[in-house]
Chain A
């Protein structure tokens, strides 16, 4: 009985997840039929004239996540080095508690702070680049950096503490300083864990919705000439999630093609975050929920 129940509920959970994947795949069929792979590579999204190109939103999602990691990685891993290598146990625990709390701050609260503080700050600080307004990809990226920071600290700390203490002691006994031990012994061994943390953090930032929605500006079709150019970073953009959270989701339901385009965005997002989570966990040894 216990066994049956265990398997039953496990299968139920598995079925729900498969159903989720299936629904998004199935609901998006019309847009694939309508546009084929041009749905992925198309650069124009005008639903009134039934043009559905997802590329600008894929670009937006990738850019804000990229900015978030660039900003958060040094800070997060630095803090992880501090907690794992330098702080005595009580202080370490205190910092970890605070980082856990930071991880719990709701997305909508970040969004509120983004509207109140970050938007104007970006607008003023970067004034000489003459941004049209404060709602930019950069604003969303920096807000996401703060949001993903706890993930990087926690996973980075885990990676460092996964390196056996005996190796550190051996290195110190050879006369290496703490910094040298860290750089030549500990960090190389924790590198995989750091990489995994980055991938998992990347998945987080890709999927974040509400905070991004409130500060990204929600401008469609804003693609740069070149993927690597940064001149769009100070302009408004659209991410996959900000589109999914917008009024279009309400408008689209009932119109098979438009709805398929929305569901297709969900599918793309699932594929991207799924890949990040899968690679992240198989890359590193363990991850934490």
Chain B
């Protein structure tokens, strides 16, 4: 029995050492696209061992980094004070790798019905169930089928941050929930009167359409590149790689790659804004 235990222990130690070379990444499906492609390149060119997963969205990335299950978290929202309090010993380091906007997208019938923009107040009333029909917003009579992003998604947090100031201030409501980006686009495209929050790069303008948002001055601002770059569009959000402390070793190689010209081109390829596109 004893030799078995010793060899088992040896095996575990050995495994731990081998595994130290594997770079594990988890988090936001939005950030995943350029990251997964970067990983493919680094795997091929640098023979690096990189595993990418998207469990639990941004919150999953933050908590798995906090729990030490991954070395890089992907997040489409900043690490909140709450998260930092939950993992007091972890030094979350946010590396800004690109910028994205959360669009309010609608199905074709709503767009064709003439609804092209919303105000913050209107969004609030839709979210709280006081406005339930597009005709109240200048569209054709059709009930509003709102799909809410599921909890933990960066998209949802950015949305309630703008409308309510913080996730904690958001009212307690229950809507049908959607998770992944394709799921969201697919459901909105195939449902009459549909509205949901979605990364603006996925709003193709063929099946789903991004509404402009009206600020206090009443001027509609569409989620197009120049408005995101200048932060005129209010629902823009930074995309982050999260590391524990300053990146080192394989983590640094990966982060540096995504910040390099080639990495940034991947960010652009997937519809997001590169760092250099942003107007500082």
Measured in the bound complex, the distance between the Cα atoms of B67 and A246 in whole Å is: 20
Segment of A44-52, A60-68, A159-167, A170-178 engaged in the interface with chain B = A44-52
The verdict on A219 contacting chain B, using a C-beta distance below 8 Å, is yes
Chain A, residue nearest B62 (CB): A251
Chain B: minimal CB distance from A213 (Å): 9
For B179, the chain A residues whose CB sits under 8 A away are 246-247
Instruction: Indicate whether A251 sits within 8 Å of B168 (C-beta atoms), given known contacts A120-B190, A133-B187, A218-B177.
Output: no
Distance to closest chain B CB from A257 (angstroms): 13
Q: Is B151 a contact of A119 with CB atoms below 8 Å?
A: no
- The one of B59, B167, B177, B187 that contacts A219, using a Cβ cutoff of 8 Å: B177
- A251 surroundings in chain B (CB, below 8 A): 56, 59-60, 63, 151-152
Which one of B167, B170, B190 lies within 8 Å of A123 (CB-CB)? B190
**Which chain B residue shows the least CB distance to A222?**
B174
Against B, the Cβ 8 Å flags (1 = close, 0 = not) of A87-129 are 0000000000000000000000000000100011001000000
Q: How many residues of B contact A (CB 8 A)?
A: 32
Q: Report the interface size for chain A: residues with CB under 8 A from the other chain.
A: 29
Residues of the B chain whose Cβ atoms lie less than 8 Å from the Cβ of A225: none
- Tell me if B273 counts as interface (CB < 8 A to partner A): no
Q: Which residues of A contact B59 (CB under 8 A)?
A: 247, 250-251
B186 at the interface (CB under 8 A from A): yes
Q: Render A247-268 as a binary contact track against B, CB cut-off 8 A, 1 for contact.
A: 1101101100000000000000
Cβ contacts under 8 Å, B223 to chain A: none
CB pair A254–B55 under 8 Å, yes or no, is: no
Residues of A within 8 A of B (CB): 44, 46-49, 51, 115, 119-120, 123, 130, 132-135, 217-222, 236, 246-248, 250-251, 253-254
| 9 A-B pairs with least C-beta separation | A250-B56, A236-B176, A217-B176, A220-B174, A221-B174, A218-B177, A219-B176, A132-B145, A133-B191
Residues of B within 8 A of A (CB): 55-57, 59-60, 63, 66-67, 86, 143, 145, 147, 150-153, 167-168, 170, 172, 174-179, 186-187, 190-191, 193-194
